[in-house]
Structure 1
Amino acid sequence: MSISGFIPRATRACHPDAVVSEYLDRGWWQEDTLPGLFASWVERRPAETATTDPVNLADLTGAQPMSMTWQELDEFVRRVAAVFHARGICQDDIVAVQIPNSIALVATYLALWRLGAVATPMPASYRRHELSGIVDACSAVAVVTVGRLGDRSLATEASGLLSGHPSLRTVFAFGPDVPDEAVEIDTAAVPASDVEEAETYTAGLVHTVNDRVTICWTSGTEAAPKGVPRCHADWLAVGRGVQDGLETTEDSVLVNPFPLVNMAGFAAALLPWLLGGGHLVHHHPLDITVYLRQIQHHRATHTTMPPAILTMLLQNDVLRKKFDLSSLERVGAGGAPLPPSVVAAWQNDHGVEVINFFGSNEGVCLLGAPGDMPDPTIRAQHLPNYAAPDHSWVVRLSRSTSVRLIDPVTGALVDTVGGRGELRLKGPTVFGGYLEGTATSSPFDEDGYLCSGDVFELCGEHGEYLRFVDRIKEIIIRGGMNIAPAEIEGLLQDHPAVAEVAIVGIPDEVLGEKCCAVVVPAADATPTLDDLTAHLRARDIASFKLPERIELVDTLPRNAVGKLLRRHIRTDLLESL
């Protein structure tokens, strides 16, 4: 199977026809679409609660929190779609979405997909710098956002892009505090004729499982983010794989603290909700007291937690015992190794099974499910090796996902226990290739396997497990958000007090990693951390990307062609801390 690694910007399909036919014939993909799944729950459970806003939504955006049944959500989605359609949004249009976790966000996705449009989600923390690049890269025709978020006017920030981006026609915003230059999404005031026209339009659309529905964004070693197109079928393949671990049902209540903008939020919350038909409760940004209160109030059965939060709650008896968390059955975790003692304690002492996830926007397909790894101490630090001979797995993706470990130096297949290599993957959850113009090379090898950039060790008595070792890629992951060092370095390089700069990740107990700026000062200059952060803030960069430590050095190590040896910089820095 030949995969080019790039998806043309104007092409609706995510995968070649031959791949689609193969995956459907093998049963690896189904004929379902995301709007179709939603419609099935509206028909089957119209009066049951479908989704609930964050309890602190009024503090975040000024809007009053709501809870909706499946039927109420369906009506809301239809009216939001009517607002979009009346302003020209139609099939294949790409629409940027910047909304905090809420009913409004889910309704926006469903409304766009109903119209055949493509959503390109962006974290609420993104500012003009990131928004501008994404709008240009995907030729977005509109932005959907909220009037305000905290002390920021997101709608005003987005409206500031209208004059400088030829593709961008409209900014839509949920209220309150919507500026005049944006179109307010007031579903109570939508004319009946607009709803009827939108319904007529959607009834005439032809959808395929290979149609693009999202373009998510990921940062690697390059300064600019890369677009990751996804279709109905590969998203649902991801969701069904995760379902084998989470096992959500109509009775499940999911509290989701991860932003619904990329793999973490979609795979662990939105898709299990659409597949299981339960109740999705929104939360974000993380406020630990509000979050635990939501779990208690809604009697949540499922949630996701960063490893650091799992550990902190286990160690903090006072905080944990303030809330009744006894309804929890399964918790998803990933992004960092899990302490075996923590996973064992949650399971043995509190009856909560922790699921170990591994994945990326490009391809998620490995998870440590209790049915495959009943021992929590093994599940904490290992993932299943679907390539292990004579071994069967509960997770259905094991039968459709091909896994290899490749020595990154020699290119040889690693098949000896204790050996280490780059994880490479092929199967129905792997994307079809980056958005044209957003990547300099293909992410696939000559055999069509996705090169993950992550090094794993082959473990277990017969090589049945994989253990994460390190990342080949140089991205920094802070609280689940990817930071490309080259992007920050490029912005800091024009600071007058900076001669050279390298951004590296250093460990953080809560966030996993945080940014450190290693700076060679310009002559007669002594830059401070405040100097650097002020310089970056002036360029409207997202706050999570700001350096949180500075180290001044005389020189930065480089190789023979002048490339920064960032790994050496980080090693030297960690030794000095």
Structure 2
Amino acid sequence: MKLHPEERVRDYVEAGYWGAPTWPQMLDAHIAATPDKLAIVDPANLEALCGTPPQQWTWRELGDYTDRLAAVLRDYGIGADDVVACALPNRVELAALYLAVAKLGAIVSPCPVQYRQHEYLQICAAVKPKVFVTVTAFADRALAAEVAAAKIPSVQSILAYGDERPDGVLSLDRLVSEAAPAQFDREPDGNDCVTVCWTSGTEAAPKGVPRCANDWYPMAYASIDAAELTGNDVLLNPFPMVNMAGIAGMFVPWLITGATLVQHHPFDPQTFFGQLAAHRVTYTVAPPALLMMVLAREDIPAVVFDSLRIVGSGSAPLSPHMTNGWKDRFGIEIINCFGSNEGVCIAGDPKTVPDQDLRATLFPRFGSPSHEWPNTGAHGMRSRIVDLGTGQQIDEADRTGEFRIKGPGVFAGYWPGTGSTDAFDEDGYFCTGDLFQYVADDSGDLRYLKYLDRAKDIIVRGGQNISAAEVEGLLVGHPAVAEVAVVGVPDEVYGERVCAVIVSSAGAPPTLESLVEFLRGSQIASYKLPESLHIVEALPRNPVGKILKREVRSMLG
């Protein structure tokens, strides 16, 4: 299935943005160059999670398994443009599945393992997979049985790793072990759809985002260049390899560079820190809450992190306290990442935003016509900020508007029937729904971007717009706050008032008064101050870790 029109493909190939080797071609190149180099490693706790001993494969072993898996899928009816759905945790076979399906010219639609029957039916009704690949057990759940019970109309075969399969579910372990490596007579194309990922659904039902190898590459290079990754690196991947963070942030950079990929999932601190030391990991990604937790604990020795060069973070506001703390205590820089499945990928790193205080809250202005950045992910990208009230472009600092982008990393449009048909404006820019401002440097140059909020996550108090993300970004710096979500609660007089929902860190929970006093120290407008506080044990999150604001509001009644 070709995703982009021929004219766009030709233009981007001629400009050098597209035209890199396809996923199968990259795999073949690593097998030829370094066949016995360690390529990929299972989570150390895989047996406890799935009942399967962990494995590790060289590039040669990965290639052999991929070809045999492709032969099995072909035997079960998978060919060009067919869809294979999967619900797999991060493990070596998930990487092989992506590669095997790409060799067949087919498409993988990965489901987070947290999904259940409702989501399976919803997603599969849209993409109509012929085959569903999963595991028999994951933690306390029987995933293969759940998939079988869903009775998905389009699914002809359910293939599962692990023992104790329910009736009608086939052993993928046995099928692959008995298969001969597939021979391929089809040359892959960089414009072929390889994945259909699903948006996070923080405010609505998931939307299908089809992507090809060509438009994955610019997003992956944003990570490669920000972290200066090479084939000598060891990458530890704790993000589910089902969306932009796990695929563009880890899987594709690994495939491009030929580094070693160590899988991890779901997040388990003891296992994670053990993998860092055992595999001499040089690069990983972690949510801000984990990085703050590490700083708050004096019992974690610095030697755990002595192989790490740099750490990526994002999906929630960072704080200067955290970025400076990691540099001062461990000598490790933090990359501030902002991205989406649809094609936004911006990385603030020591080269693009050298000042650590600024890097916690600002991003380089990728897509600016007047700036060049030392990051391949920015090449060919164009961006603008648009006033949603007037539709006019914004060309000044500190004025809020919607961030819009176009370029080689942007997807071609949502899978039919799952998302808006007018996701792009009249000039072909993708309307992200993210609110940003330009921020000037000391010379007055509008060099930086500041994320404020989702367009649908603005609190309106007495006619004043309040960015929930702005207040969250300040509150996360309070020592008693581990995680925070700021929402508007209905009010008869003001329309909405600000409510802070807090997961407290170790020790006594914060009071509303202490939070307000802390915020006043930041000199923010008084109308932005929280007027109520709820302490919770955990914030509701979707399968890829983003806070579900609609459920936070439901918790408040």
Q: Report TM bin, short chain.
A: 0.7 to 0.9
SS in 2 for 1:160: helix
| 1:472 alignment counterpart | 455
The partner residue of 1:54 within 43, 62, 67 is 43
2:335–2:348 Cα contact (<8 Å) kept: yes
Distance in 1, matches of 2:103 and 2:120, equals 24
Structure 1: which 5+ runs fail to align? 1-11, 478-484, 486-503, 512-541, 554-577
The partner residue of 2:160 within 173, 189, 192 is 173
Shift of 1:389: 6.1
What letter is aligned with 2:190? V
Supply the RMSD in Å over aligned alpha carbons. Answer: 2.8
* Change over 3 Å in CA distance of 1:506–1:444 after alignment to 2: farther
| 1:400 alignment counterpart | 380
The partner residue of 1:426 within 381, 406, 413 is 406
| 2:236 alignment counterpart | 255
The partner residue of 1:347 within 299, 324, 327 is 327
2:222–2:377 Cα contact (<8 Å) kept: yes
Shift of 1:551: 5.4
Shift of 1:450: 0.7
* Change over 3 Å in CA distance of 1:361–1:32 after alignment to 2: same
* Change over 3 Å in CA distance of 1:86–1:324 after alignment to 2: same
Equivalences for 1:146-545 in 2 at 5 Å? 146-162=135-151, 164-165=152-153, 167-186=154-173, 190-191=177-178, 194-195=179-180, 198-199=182-183, 203-220=184-201, 223-318=204-299, 320-321=300-301, 324-388=304-368, 390-461=370-441, 462-473=445-456, 507-509=501-503
Shift of 1:259: 0.2
* Change over 3 Å in CA distance of 1:510–1:121 after alignment to 2: farther
SS in 2 for 1:317: coil
Distance in 1, matches of 2:499 and 2:45, equals 32
Cα deviation code 1:126-179 (max 9, x no counterpart): 0000011111111111110001111211111111233x51x2111110112322
Distance in 1, matches of 2:354 and 2:77, equals 52
Farther-moved stretch of structure 1 (136-145 vs 345-354) = 345-354
Distance in 2, matches of 1:422 and 1:86, equals 48
What is the TM-score of this pair, normalised by structure 2?
0.81
Distance in 1, matches of 2:33 and 2:351, equals 29
What letter is aligned with 2:286? M
Distance in 1, matches of 2:405 and 2:48, equals 43
Cα deviation code 1:345-364 (max 9, x no counterpart): 22243221211111100012
Distance in 2, matches of 1:292 and 1:175, equals 27
1:82–1:190 Cα contact (<8 Å) kept: no
Work out the percentage of aligned pairs sharing the same amino acid.
Answer: 40
Shift of 1:341: 2.2
* Change over 3 Å in CA distance of 1:283–1:507 after alignment to 2: farther
Distance in 2, matches of 1:543 and 1:331, equals 19
* Change over 3 Å in CA distance of 1:509–1:28 after alignment to 2: farther
Structure 2: which 5+ runs fail to align? 459-467, 470-486, 488-497, 506-544
| 1:69 alignment counterpart | 58
| 1:112 alignment counterpart | 101
Distance in 2, matches of 1:313 and 1:207, equals 44
1:91–1:116 Cα contact (<8 Å) kept: yes
* Change over 3 Å in CA distance of 1:551–1:88 after alignment to 2: closer
2:87–2:110 Cα contact (<8 Å) kept: yes
2:26–2:256 Cα contact (<8 Å) kept: yes
* Change over 3 Å in CA distance of 1:390–1:210 after alignment to 2: closer
Cα deviation code 1:418-446 (max 9, x no counterpart): 12211100111100000111124321111
Shift of 1:392: 2.8
2:218–2:376 Cα contact (<8 Å) kept: no
2:319–2:360 Cα contact (<8 Å) kept: yes
| 2:518 alignment counterpart | none
1:215–1:230 Cα contact (<8 Å) kept: yes
SS in 1 for 2:304: coil
Distance in 2, matches of 1:78 and 1:463, equals 50
Distance in 2, matches of 1:340 and 1:271, equals 30
Distance in 2, matches of 1:550 and 1:211, equals 41
Cα deviation code 1:21-77 (max 9, x no counterpart): 111011111241111111111111111111110110011000000111111111111
SS in 2 for 1:434: coil
